[in-house]
Amino acid sequence: MNMKLSSNLLNESPDCKRTRLSVTQVNLFYGDFQALRNITLEIPECAITAIIGPSGCGKSSFLRIFNRMNDLITGARVEGRVELDDIDIYDKSIDVVELRKRVGMVFQKPNPFPMSVFENVAFGPRRHERHGHNLGELEDIVERSLHQAALWDEVKDKLGQSALALSGGQQQRLCIARVLAVEPEVILMDEPCSALDPVATLKIEDLMRSLAEHYTIVIVTHNMQQAARVSDMAAFFMMEEDRAGVLVEYGPTSELFTNPKDKRTEDYITGRFG
């Protein structure tokens, strides 16, 4: 069905998928400081795209371009074109709130709200209710989202308890459930496992693989193994002399890791720096 070929890079991937997000010659500035320079890439739907690179190379800043989270920072400015399904998301007519409903985000540190498990998941749907969800509908949404986030069995008996009492890994899956509850199309993940132990990390990775069947996932990680394990596509970012992040190499994960085209990528993934 979605066979519209759109990029040379994607032609090489075994199952060609439609481009979901496309970034064209994007520069990101914080005041006078340029954080990203001339980034161009296309992110396919229903796949996991990993953004890797050394600390401070602008990976997180890049991720936050897609849900315009950088807007919150005074002096942040994006040049170039960023498209979601061929719509320019930095166009003046774009409703940022609607955009963030379609492009959800999971953060580095699990950030459950200080309320019950149920209210955490119901938070988004409650805010968006136009015609007013009744409690039954909300319960359905919460249960569905928790199932999707592979958390239902662990919390089904404590939906009324404080989310802060959950373990770190459970909290992060709860945050994923909270995002899933508003039925986004794209899920951005900013080092979602960096605060978790290896077992919890594996659970999140399994979850990501199953979510990738229906969602477009972009993940920032500085864990090479994680990128290799979970992602379909991988983009390697680096800092230039003036500390601006640039895209060094982008392609199917298997190729980037086994047969990198750029010497810097090779050095990085073989652990020579970073």
- Which one of 7-15, 92-100, 230-238, 256-264 is the stretch in contact with other proteins (CB under 8 A)? 92-100
Q: Is 67 in the site for other proteins (CB under 8 A)?
A: yes
Q: Name which position in 43, 57, 69, 227 contacts other proteins (CB under 8 A).
A: 69
- Which one of 17-25, 41-49, 55-63, 174-182 is the stretch in contact with other proteins (CB under 8 A)? 174-182
8 A C-beta contact, residue 217 and residue 191? no
Smallest gap from Cβ 9 to other proteins, in A, equals: 28
Smallest gap from Cβ 97 to other proteins, in A, equals: 5
CA dihedral 63, 212, 13, 88 (to 10 degrees): -40
Count how many Cα atoms sit within 13 Å of the Cα of residue 48 in the half-sphere of its side chain. Answer: 25
Q: Is 132 in the site for other proteins (CB under 8 A)?
A: no
Q: Name which position in 35, 141, 182, 269 contacts other proteins (CB under 8 A).
A: 182
Distances (CA, A) of 83 to 11, 44, 250: 20, 12, 18
The bridge status of strand 76-84 relative to strand 19-30 is: antiparallel
Count how many Cα atoms sit within 13 Å of the Cα of residue 237 in the half-sphere of its side chain. Answer: 30
d(CA 112, CA 106): 11
Cβ neighbours around 134 below 10 Å, total: 9
Q: Name which position in 123, 158, 194, 264 contacts other proteins (CB under 8 A).
A: 123
With respect to other proteins, which residue has the nearer C-beta, 109 or 214?
A: 109
Q: Is 173 in the site for other proteins (CB under 8 A)?
A: no
Q: Is 46 in the site for other proteins (CB under 8 A)?
A: no
- Which one of 52-60, 173-181, 191-199, 256-264 is the stretch in contact with other proteins (CB under 8 A)? 173-181
Smallest gap from Cβ 127 to other proteins, in A, equals: 4
With respect to other proteins, which residue has the nearer C-beta, 178 or 203?
A: 178
8 A C-beta contact, residue 193 and residue 229? no
Q: Name which position in 11, 55, 74, 93 contacts other proteins (CB under 8 A).
A: 74
Q: Name which position in 20, 37, 101, 173 contacts other proteins (CB under 8 A).
A: 101
Q: Note the Cα 90 to chain centre separation in Å.
A: 18
With respect to other proteins, which residue has the nearer C-beta, 81 or 128?
A: 128
Residue among 115, 129, 39 at smallest CA distance from 78: 39
At 31, list the tokens: 């005041």
Q: Is 178 in the site for other proteins (CB under 8 A)?
A: yes
d(CA 191, CA 52): 10
The two most distant CA atoms of the chain are separated, in Å, by: 57
Interaction with other proteins in 213-232: which residues (CB under 8 A)?
Answer: none
Helix axis angle for 117-128 and 135-148, nearest 10°, is 120
Q: Which residues make up the interface to other proteins (CB under 8 A)? A: 67, 69, 72, 74, 97-98, 100-101, 104-105, 107, 109, 111-114, 123-124, 126-128, 164, 175, 178-179, 181-182
